[in-house]
Chain A
Amino acid sequence: MNALLQDAHERFDPPLAARGLGHGYEGATVLRCINLDVAPGSVLGLIGRNGAGKSTLLRALLGLLEPTTGEARVFGTPALAMDDTVRQRIAYVPQQPEALAWLTVEQMFDYLSRFYPSWNHAFASDTLARWQLPENKLLGKLSPGERQRVELVRALSSEPDLLVLDEPAAALDPVARRELLREIALRAGEAGITVLFSTHIVSDLERVASEIAFLHEGRLLLHCPVDDTKERYARLWLPARLASSTPTSTLSRRSHADGSVSVVVERDAHGRWPEAHAQPGVRLDVLGLEDLFVEIAE
C-alpha cells in the first residue's frame, strides 16, 4: 500500500514547482512571485535577457538559495529540505562551472561517481572520449568550453530524472552545441527525463524545447508549449488617432514619438485576435519566437 501511495505521489508531484517565489539582492528585486510547474518528461526552455533572473530562478527552484518569499519543491519535497533519494535524481550544471578546479577530470568523475548509485561509467568514459576531453588535465586548466562540456558529461553520467542546465550552450562551439542539444532531445525522448534549461539563444530553444517560459525583469510573462507560440502572438501597430483603443490585455506596450503605439497581443481562447486589429490603419504582424522575445524584452 505504501509503495502504491509513494508511486502515486511521485506520479502527481511535478519534478519542479514554484509557488509565489520571490528573491532579491541588496534591495533589488530579482524574482517577483513566480508560479511555475515543470511537467514530468518535458523540456522547458527558460528564456530571458541577461539579468532577467533566470539563474536566480533555477537556483531557487533547486534550493541553492533561500528565497525571500514563496517556496520551491523538487519531486514534491521542499527544495531546501531534500533528502538523498531526491538528490540522486537531480543533476545541475551552473553557468561557467568552476567546481573542484584542483582535480583532474578523471579524479572528479571518480570522486562524484562514489555518491551516485546509478552512475554510468561507460557513458562517462565514452562521451569524454567522443567529445575529445582530456581526462588527465586539471579542471582549473580547461578552457571554458571544455569545462562546460565536462560538467555536462558529469551531469548526464549520474542518470538523473531531472536535468537543470544554466546557459548550457553559452561557451560551446556550434558542433558541441548541436551535440548537447541532440543529447538532451535523446534523453528526454527515450528516457523521459525532465529538462529545464535557461538560454537566450532562441534557435536552441526552438530546436529542443517542448515548453517555453519567458522571464522578464523577474516576472514570468508566459509559460506554454513551444507549438502554442506559433501564430499565436502578434505585434499590433495603432496610429496615434487610435492609440486610445489599444487592447487592455497586452504582453508589452511601446509608444512612439509620433503618438502611435505598438503592443504585443495574443489570440483569445477561440483563436481570434483582439478586435482593434480590424480597424482601418491598424497593422498586425504575426511574431515568430525570436521576434516575440525581442518585442517583449526590448
Chain B
Amino acid sequence: MNAATLLLTPWRAAPSGARWMVVVFYLLTCLVATAIAVFGHTATTWLAVSLTYGLGLFAPWAFLFPGAALLAKDARQLRIPRLERLAILALPAYAVAMLALPAAVFAALGWPLVKPMLVWTLVMAGAFAFALLPRYVTVFCGFLPTLGNALAPGWVRLFPHAGSWPTWTIALLVLLLIMIGWRWHGFIRGRISEQGWSSPMVVQLRYGSWGAWSQMQATGRLSLMIGKGGGQVDGCGPSRPIRSLRMALGGWYTPRSWLHHVQQMGIMLVLISVPVGALLLAHLHDGGASSRMSGSALLGAVFGFAAMASPLVCLLSWVWLSRRWQRVNMELPMLALLPGLGSNAMRKRNLLRAALTRPLVAHAACLGVGLIGCHWLTRVTPLIGVQVVAITIGALATTGLMLDILGGKPHSLWTVAPLLGAVFVLQNVGLVVTAMLGSNHAPAHSTTMLAVLMAGWILLAGWATRLALAGWRALETRLQPFVANPA
C-alpha cells in the first residue's frame, strides 16, 4: 500500500461524472477563496476565505468520498480485507490533507486557525453524514438553515450554559462522528438495506442518479416511482384509451386512488410544515417584529418553488419518458401490440394527450403558485407577465423534448441540460428584474435588463419551438408510435 494507491482509491470508487463535477466545484471554490485572500484587505477576510473553502469541502465529502463506503462494503463481501482497509484509510488521509494545506496557508498569513479548522471539520463530517444518513432524514437537510435561525433564540434559553460556539461545534462534531461510525458499520456489514427510504444517500452513486448524469434517464431507479398503492386499474380499457395509456406510462402518469392522493398530500403537508413551523416559531419568539422578514421568506419560497418546479417538471417528464422509450422490454412492445387502442393515428393522438397533459397541468400549477405569491405584492403586473412568459416557455420546452422522444429523435442530456439551465436562469433573472422594476427604488438600468431578458426569452422560445416542430414532424412520419429509441 503506497500513498498514490491510498489517494486514488476513493477516486476510482466514484463514477467519472461525479468525480469531475466535484473536482471542478472544489477547485472553483479554492480559486474564489484565493482571490478573496489576495484582494480582500479587511479584518474579516480570513472569515470569508474560510467559509468559501468550507463550501468547497462540502461537495467532495458529500458526493465523492462516500463512494468509499460502497467500496468497503463490496470489498468485505468479496473477502478482500486489504481493499476494505484502503477504503477506510483513504478518508482520514484526505481529511488531513484537505485541512493541513489551507491551515498552513492560514498560519503563514497569521490568521486565526482554530475556528476555521473546526468549521472545515464540521463541514466534512456533516457532508459525509449527509451521504450516510437515511434518505428520509436527508430530505429535511434543506430546511436546516431555516430551522437553525428559528430555533437559535430558544436554544440559548434552553441551554444557557452551553458556552461559546467552539464548544457546541465540538459537541456537534462528536455527535456527527458517532453517527457516521454507526451508519458506516451497519452499511458495510449489510445491516442497512440499499433499498427504500432508510437506505443511505450514497447508494445513489451505485444506482447512477449521482454522477452518471449522461445515463440518468436510463438508470433512474424505478423503486422511487413504485407506490405501494400501485395503480387504479378500474376505468381502464378500450373505452378510455387515454387513461389506459397513462396506466402504461407509469410514474406520475399512473391513475391512482383518492386514498393515494390523500396520502401524498399528507406527506407534502408534513414537508411544508417544517419551514412554515420554523417561520411561525420565529414570529412567536419576537412578537411579530420579524413578521415582515418571515413574510418575505415565505414569498421568496413561493417564487423559488415556482421557479424551481417548472424546469424540474420538464426534467422529470423527459427523464421518465425517455427511459420508457429507450427500453425494448418494457411497456412499448405491450402497447404496440395491445388491441383496442384504435388506428395508429388515434394511438398517436391519444399518446400525445396522455403524455403531455400531466406535465402541462403541472406547469400551469407552477404558474398558479406564482400568481398566488403575486397577491402579496403591490405592483404585480410585470411579475405576472414574467411568470406567464417563463412558465409558457418551460411548457414549450417540455413539449418539444417529449415530442422528440415520441418522434424517435431523442436528445441527450447535453442538449437537455443547457435548455433547462437556460429556462431556470431566465426564470430566476426574470424574478429579480421584475422585483427591481416593482420596487420603489428601481435602478436606472433595470429597463435595459428587461430588454436583455426578453431577447433571451425569444431565443429560448425559438429553440424550444424548433425542437417541438422537429419532434412533431418525426412523430407524423412514424408508422406506429410505440417504437423504442434504443440508446
Contact = CB atoms under 8 A, between A and B. Distances in A.
Nearest to B227: A102
Interface stretch (B138-146, B279-287, B339-347, B438-446): B339-347
A98 B236 CA distance: 20
Contact of B339 (A81, A87, A102, A140): A87
Q: Is the interface of B mostly helix, strand, loop or mixed?
A: loop
A125 to B, nearest CB: 16
Contacts of A98: 327, 329-330
A212 B343 CA distance: 34
Interface in B332-358: 332-334, 336-344
Given A102-B254, A103-B231, A87 B338 contact: yes
Contacts of A25: 486
Interface residues of B, number: 41
A110 B233 contact: yes
Contacts of B225: 102
A186 interface: no
B226 A102 contact: yes
Given A80-B479, A97-B329, A116 B226 contact: no
Contacts of B337: 62, 64, 82, 87, 90-92
A228 to B, nearest CB: 32
A229 interface: no
A100 B331 contact: yes
B223 A84 contact: no
B342 A59 contact: no
Contacts of B486: 25
B452 to A, nearest CB: 41
Interface of A: 25, 55, 59, 62-66, 80-85, 87-88, 90-92, 94-104, 107, 110-112, 114-116, 138, 140
B259 to A, nearest CB: 15
19 contacts: A59-B333, A64-B332, A64-B333, A64-B337, A64-B484, A84-B339, A84-B342, A96-B329, A98-B327, A99-B331, A100-B248, A101-B222, A102-B251, A103-B231, A103-B247, A111-B236, A111-B244, A114-B244, A115-B339
Interface in B301-329: 327-329
Given A81-B480, A84-B340, A103-B231, A111 B329 contact: no
A97 B344 CA distance: 24
A105 B95 CA distance: 50
B190 interface: no
Give 8 closest A-B pairs by Cβ, nearest first: A114-B237, A80-B479, A87-B339, A94-B329, A115-B340, A84-B339, A88-B339, A111-B233
Contact of B330 (A82, A90, A99, A114): A99
A138 B226 contact: yes
Nearest to A81: B479
Interface of B: 222-223, 225-227, 230-231, 233, 236-238, 244, 247-248, 250-251, 254, 327-334, 336-344, 478-480, 482-484, 486
Given A100-B248, A114-B237, A140-B222, A83 B231 contact: no
B480 A107 contact: no
A66 B339 contact: no
Contacts of B250: 100-102
A140 B223 contact: yes
A59 B337 CA distance: 11
Nearest to B408: A66
B344 to A, nearest CB: 7
B246 to A, nearest CB: 12
Given A65-B483, A65-B484, A114-B238, A107 B231 contact: yes
B327 A115 contact: no
Contacts of B233: 103, 107, 110-111
A279 B164 CA distance: 102
A102 B332 CA distance: 15
B329 to A, nearest CB: 4
Nearest to B334: A99
